[in-house]
Amino acid sequence: MQKKIIFYFKADEGIKFGFGHAYRVLNIYKKLKLSSKNTKFFFIINKNTFLLNFLKSKKISNIHFIEEIYDPKLFDIFQNSKIIIDIYRKTDRHINFIKSKFKDLKTIALDNFEIKKNFDAYINGVSYAQKKIYNRKKNIYQGFKYICIPNKNLKKKVDFNFKKPKIFVSTGGSDKKNIIIKITKYLLKLKNVKINILIGPGFEKHNKIFALNKKFEQIKLIQNVKNLSKYISKNDCAITTGGFIMYECLALNLPTFVIKNYEHQKYSINYLNKKKSIIYIGEGFSLNLKKFNKKINLINNYFFIKKIKQKILPLIDGNGLDRIIHIIKKI
């Protein structure tokens, strides 16, 4: 009998946030596809044109919209299947409908901290997961060891170029709040730095960062990178928002300056900040030059950089994706 695995995820508010879900799902899909014989994969997403085009650009097929769940023609998908749910909010009425109708459906929840019952496995790699209390003790997998980093053969960055540091900058898949411009203008006031900016697929063409790139030679824009981990590791430190990219930088042992871009990021940021594993700059909308300079000038402090690199070195081992795949297969 052919196996079926369904990925259920969303990108909300016109890709305002949700690319972390998309990348995580793609990483899991690619790994499962390589190791799962006689398996058919399906993708169920909300009606988001940008997300749909993004998946198609990755040569993903068998894409269905959430509204189609109620169509009897789609019911065959859910028979004897596994569904991987990757959404931040509560399991919505669509999932409740599926679970009530198909009793043999196996459900795996990723980072959905609102789910408390009716799942077969719960995987939460985000840093604050350890403090959450759930109604069940079995099949709950929490903590950094389940961070879904795509490349387990990580080359941890050991050295740091104090004379001319390379700074990796990312706000994730998009930059709806134009934080990149503010960060870059502040960084341009520093001497002897190289600014490497990741342009996500959700960036708008009129973003002013493209004009700044033409004007200043110390700025380099990166797009469509095949091996992001390899590229990030070539930098000395990072400035990111509190999404998935933050964990990727930490996994590579980069001192990471973090800006809170959205409300749901506060849990991870607060946890890591208390552990002194990141340098928290502040909220994107209220970021000012004085606050930024006070933090970013730490890149000149040899003892601070040495200490924080020692602190983050053991945090993430890069084997989280393999652990997730193992859990999915055994359920």
Is 159 domain-assigned?
A: no
Instruction: For residue 325, give the 3-state DSSP assignment.
Output: helix
Q: Sign of the CA dihedral 195, 200, 204, 205?
A: positive
Residue whose C-alpha is closest to residue 254's, from 270, 269, 240: 240
For the chain, what is the domain count?
Answer: 2
Most confident of 65-79, 190-204, 304-318: 304-318
For residue 322, give its domain range: 3-149+318-330
Is 154 domain-assigned?
A: no
CA distance 69 to 146: 29
User: Both 109 and 228 in a single domain?
Assistant: no
User: Both 240 and 325 in a single domain?
Assistant: no
Instruction: For residue 287, give the 3-state DSSP assignment.
Output: coil
User: Both 14 and 139 in a single domain?
Assistant: yes
Q: What is the mean pLDDT of residues 5-26?
A: 74
Q: What is the mean pLDDT of residues 17-31?
A: 82
CATH of the domain at 250: 3.40.50.2000
User: Both 212 and 274 in a single domain?
Assistant: yes
Is 291 domain-assigned?
A: yes
How high is the mean pLDDT of the chain?
85
pLDDT at 233 over 60: yes
More confident residue, 93 or 276: 276
- Residues of the chain with pLDDT > 70, as a percent, come to 89
Tell me the C-alpha to C-alpha distance, in Å, between residue 185 and each of 188, 190, 216, 286. 5, 10, 11, 15
Please, which pLDDT band fits residue 210 given cuts at 50, 70 and 90? Answer: confident
Neighbours of 251 (CB within 10 A): 24
**What pLDDT score does 198 carry?**
92
- Residues of the chain with pLDDT > 90, as a percent, come to 39
pLDDT at 169 over 60: yes
pLDDT at 319 over 80: yes
Is 293 domain-assigned?
A: yes
Q: Sign of the CA dihedral 225, 227, 230, 233?
A: positive
Is 157 domain-assigned?
A: no
Lowest-pLDDT choice from 125-129, 174-178, 183-187, 280-284: 125-129
User: Both 193 and 223 in a single domain?
Assistant: yes
User: Both 23 and 65 in a single domain?
Assistant: yes
User: Both 195 and 308 in a single domain?
Assistant: yes
Each residue's pLDDT tens digit, 43-64: 998 887 778 888 898 899 999 9
User: Both 183 and 65 in a single domain?
Assistant: no
Is 251 domain-assigned?
A: yes
Please, which pLDDT band fits residue 14 given cuts at 50, 70 and 90? Answer: very low
Q: Sign of the CA dihedral 221, 18, 232, 127?
A: positive
For the record, the structure tokens of 44 come out as: 């169920």
User: Both 228 and 142 in a single domain?
Assistant: no
**DSSP codes, 212-273:** HHHH-TTEEEE-S-S-HHHHHTTSSEEEEESSHHHHHHHHTT--EEEEE-SGGGHHHHHHHH
pLDDT at 133 over 50: no
Each residue's pLDDT tens digit, 243-265: 888 999 999 999 999 998 877 78
Is 160 domain-assigned?
A: no
User: Both 144 and 209 in a single domain?
Assistant: no
Q: What is the mean pLDDT of residues 228-238?
A: 92
User: Both 294 and 323 in a single domain?
Assistant: no
Lowest-pLDDT choice from 71-85, 132-146, 212-226: 132-146
User: Which phi and psi (to 5°) does residue 213 adopt?
Assistant: -60, -40
User: Which phi and psi (to 5°) does residue 38 adopt?
Assistant: 55, 45
User: Both 135 and 198 in a single domain?
Assistant: no
Is 240 domain-assigned?
A: yes
